Structure 1
Amino acid sequence: MNCCWDGSKSEYIKKLNQQEETDMPATEWLNKYQSVKDKLACKADLETYFTEKMIGNMAVDVLDIGPVHFPTGTIFACDPMVELEDALPFLQTIPAGTYPVKICVVPSEQYGDRYACVKVEVSQEKPVRYELGMTGNEELDAALGDDDYFGFGVDAGMGCIADIQTQAAFKAYWARRLEEDPDIDPYNDLFCDLLEENAKAHPEYQGSCGDWLNWPVPDTDCSLPIFASGWGDGYYPVYFGYDAKGEVCAVYVRFIDIETSYREQE
């Protein structure tokens, strides 16, 4: 199923009512969103991050971290070290399936190899518009500028994008781990070692501590892709790319506006 905000409101109202933390009437929130939707759309063509060799004055490369299974197509994005068990899903969905996950890398001796954008490649079609991923919990009353967006916060320098079933699978797995040792935490007692092991196995565009991981949740068919977040901690948007038929063809986590950011660095 491909969700598009141009369709029926009833489906989105139902989704909004399922969000426990949404404290305003669903119809009111949706009407407010419709009034600012175009302003929140991404103005840049994010697909060029994965098709061009140069963006601005910076060379870019693409790192394929392998396939990721999205069993329901309802997805979320967050800092996996902080909010993996609590992140809300987006109202927009993708068709259930297994898709390549790719990272646009900006290699640089001066600034280090930085991950600028992550793409879930749903199809081979080219996006003609980009819609900001929304959870239905955003505060829409404040005035929005042309470059404003909603996104997810990063406090541990890492991001992820995964299926809501993967979130549930991780919760169950981690609950079992906590029964054995209630003092453990996901970073120090799980992901830290896994990231280092992956860096040894796949050293390209990774530091020794590891910058990406495609981790299968034990005893499930769910997989969790984890990746370094651009310049580090911050607040980052997720965009759904729609093709000419109005179907989702990709989902993008944008960490760095390459042209603007590197021009400011210099």
Structure 2
Amino acid sequence: MTTTTAPLHSRPFFALQGGRPEGCAYPQTFHELGVLHVPSGRLEASDPYVSLGAGCTVPVPPGSYPVFVTVADVSEAADGSHPRESYLSVVLHDDAPVAAVRLGVPEGERAPGEGVWYGVGVDAGTVAFADAQAAEALSRRADDVLEETHDRWMELQDDPRHHGSNRANVPLPGAAGGENLALAHSGWGDGFYPLVTTHDADGRLLGVHIDLLVASATHWKDERGDGER
């Protein structure tokens, strides 16, 4: 089942919108996080420190795509003093306006029912996108390799000179096709975050997003905690 058959996403959607979008409680900025290589055509969303290689996977055309982090300023004075990541997004096409926002459907799964969504379970305060095939291969590496890899990711994520605070774009060790990982802090931290897709008027997939329940949190509150991995 493809994502274009999923139920419409009925809640406001503010990814990749700067300023103060209508209906959004906070001013936002968005920042490019480099390019993500997905040669297998399988895009995985996960907590990279906990579930890399076992996250939600969405079919996409094989290729390389820009990744963006949308950041909301949740400070009371709107003075930029309290930024929180509100979306992590992979943009497949930017040549058409978004005509539909849908609940994401991972490969092999059915469209979610009312009040249910697929998403990313987070236990290490981070979300990421990666090529699913390369992520699965890395997850099978020895524990000491994974521990060293995770330490390096954390160093880069904490280095504001890399891609800004709390985010990084890193190569996946052992990946033959240049596959990499784009990761960012998960807004308020641990939790379960919905997978959302955007489409043009013909149903073509434009982007895949993880909604970190910051800008849209009040619109999910009655159902927060529901969902499926």
Taking the aligned partners of 1:105 and 1:84, their CA distance within structure 2 comes to: 23
* 2:9 pairs with one of 38, 42, 64: 42
Contact 2:26/2:72 (CA < 8 Å) preserved in 1? yes
Instruction: Provide the alpha-carbon RMSD of the alignment.
Output: 3.0
* 1:156 pairs with one of 109, 124, 134: 124
Amino acid at match of 2:48: P
Contact 1:116/1:255 (CA < 8 Å) preserved in 2? yes
Aligned residue in 1 for 2:38: 70
Structure 1 segments of 4+ aligned residues over 6 angstroms from their partners: none
Taking the aligned partners of 2:17 and 2:127, their CA distance within structure 1 comes to: 23
SS at match of 1:63: strand
* 2:93 pairs with one of 123, 130, 138: 123
Taking the aligned partners of 1:250 and 1:159, their CA distance within structure 2 comes to: 16
Deviation at 1:191, TM superposition (A): 2.4
Deviation at 1:109, TM superposition (A): 5.1
Taking the aligned partners of 2:111 and 2:98, their CA distance within structure 1 comes to: 27
Amino acid at match of 2:99: V
Aligned residue in 2 for 1:134: 105
Q: How does 1:51-200 map to 2 (within 5 A)?
A: 51-55=17-21, 56-90=24-58, 93-108=59-74, 112-124=82-94, 125-135=96-106, 136=108, 144-145=114-115, 148-171=116-139, 175=141, 178=142, 182=143, 184=144, 186=146, 188-200=147-159
Deviation at 1:225, TM superposition (A): 1.0
Taking the aligned partners of 1:129 and 1:76, their CA distance within structure 2 comes to: 21
Would the alpha carbon gap of residues 197 and 160 (structure 1) be closer, same or farther in structure 2, given more than 3 Å must change?
closer
Contact 1:130/1:242 (CA < 8 Å) preserved in 2? yes
Deviation at 1:75, TM superposition (A): 1.6
Aligned residue in 1 for 2:173: 218
Identity of aligned residues (%): 23
Taking the aligned partners of 1:204 and 1:85, their CA distance within structure 2 comes to: 24
The CA deviation string for residues 71-126 of structure 1, in whole angstroms up to 9 with x for no partner, is 12212211111111333523xx2211111100100134568321100111111122
Gap regions ≥5 residues in structure 1: 7-36
- TM-score, with structure 2 as normaliser: 0.77
Contact 1:169/1:217 (CA < 8 Å) preserved in 2? no
Q: Which has the higher strand share?
A: 2
Amino acid at match of 2:170: W
Give the greater-gyration-radius structure (CA): 1
- TM-score, with structure 1 as normaliser: 0.68
* 1:242 pairs with one of 199, 202, 205: 199
Taking the aligned partners of 2:28 and 2:189, their CA distance within structure 1 comes to: 18
SS at match of 1:85: coil
Taking the aligned partners of 2:168 and 2:164, their CA distance within structure 1 comes to: 12
Q: Which has the higher helix share?
A: 1
Amino acid at match of 2:104: G
The CA deviation string for residues 184-226 of structure 1, in whole angstroms up to 9 with x for no partner, is 374x5322333323543527751xxxx1111112353101111
Deviation at 1:155, TM superposition (A): 0.8
Gap regions ≥5 residues in structure 2: 222-229
Count matched residues.
Answer: 210
